[in-house]
Structure formats: structure tokens, C-alpha cells
Amino acid sequence: MDIRTAVPTIYGDEWTRFGETWKSQVQQLRERFHGQIEDVRMPQEQPTDVPIVYVKKSAVIEVLGYLKAEPGFDYDFLADITATDEEVDPRFEVVYNLYSTVKKCRIRIKVRVAENEDVPTAVGVWAGANWAEREVYDMFGVKFAGHPDLRRILMDYRWVGHPLRKDYPLRGYQIFPTTAPIDTDLLK
């Protein structure tokens, strides 16, 4: 079966419920952020469950703030921030998964970012982006400019490398003999 026809059945009746909403929202985004939207992937046309909007890095915070506050969008919940290592140039895609508690629908914003390139932080839009961005930094080494506390969140701070990068060895174990000393700065 062609994946493009399979997607709507996999993901239920999302398209019949939100198809028109998504179409008008994407249209509005294209008009409002003319030239800042690189690409849009819609369900049924492309193998995806929700619309994916590729945004230029310079405009991403503006777009996220717009989606959060603008009436008619109301994407007021940041479900997750993650990333993918595409092994092409630019190397990474930072993914923002948004959910609207008003309209009960989702949208996905993606930013293409090269290696050793910073992404502006979304902490100003969602305070909850803090830990999500730390995780992306920990796993992929993507840095977020303006982040208040960009440290590793999951791996030991003595860890070398970023384990979810495609070039990190699958069995690149790093076992430390002692527990990490307490960071006394955190006790202040």
C-alpha cells in the first residue's frame, strides 16, 4: 500500500476533522511570513500525519510566538522539542511539536540548522522549552542562543560526544567509576 494513502487511516480521522483548519492556517502563515516559510508538507499529499512547516531559522521564534498567541491558531501547548540528524547539509532539523488545547489539533514546525550553528531559544515563548532544548543539546549538540542554562540534562556531564548523532557509535559506552560531584553552584 502507498504510504500516502495509508497515513490517514493510520492516524484516524484527523484530516477530516482538521483538514480545512490546517489549510487556512498554512495559507495565513504563508501570507503573514512571506519568504520566511521554506516549505510546507501537508497530510495526504506527503507522508505525514500533521502539517510540517519548514521555517527559516531567523524567523522561528516569531512564528512560534505567532502560533501561540494569534486568534485562529491558539497553539498554546508546546508538546516537545526534538531534532533529527539528516546527514545532509544542513545537518540537523530542530522539530517543534505544538498542540492547540482550544482546537485539539497539532502542527509541526521544523528548522534546518547546520552543524556548529546556533538556534534562537524558545524559552521566551514557552518556559517549558528550557529542559527540552537542554535535551536536544545533550543528544545532538545543537546549541540554543540565549538559553539561560544550557547544560547536559540526561547524560553524565563528563560524557564526550552527543549520542543521538548518526556518527556516534551505537555501542559507544562510557562508564564512569565514580558518581559525578555535586555542582555546588546549583545549591546557591
Q: Which is nearer to other proteins, 5 or 174 (CB)?
A: 174
**Is 182 among the residues that bind other proteins (CB under 8 A)?**
no
CA atoms within 13 A on the CB side of 139: 16
CA atoms within 13 A on the CB side of 133: 22
- Choose which of 9, 16, 101, 178 interacts with other proteins (CB under 8 A): 178
- Choose which of 72, 146, 148, 172 interacts with other proteins (CB under 8 A): 172
The distance of closest approach from Cβ of residue 74 to other proteins in the complex, given in angstroms and rounded to an integer, is 37
DSSP track, 116-157: T-EEE--TTT-TTHHHHHHHHHHHH--EEET-S----SSS-T
Residues in region 147-166 near other proteins by CB under 8 A: 154-156, 163
**Is 181 among the residues that bind other proteins (CB under 8 A)?**
no
CA end-to-end distance (rounded Å), the chain: 59
**Is 188 among the residues that bind other proteins (CB under 8 A)?**
no
Q: Which three cell numbers stand for residue 118?
A: 546556533
Q: Which is nearer to other proteins, 104 or 151 (CB)?
A: 151
The distance of closest approach from Cβ of residue 166 to other proteins in the complex, given in angstroms and rounded to an integer, is 13
What is residue 89's three-state secondary structure?
A: coil
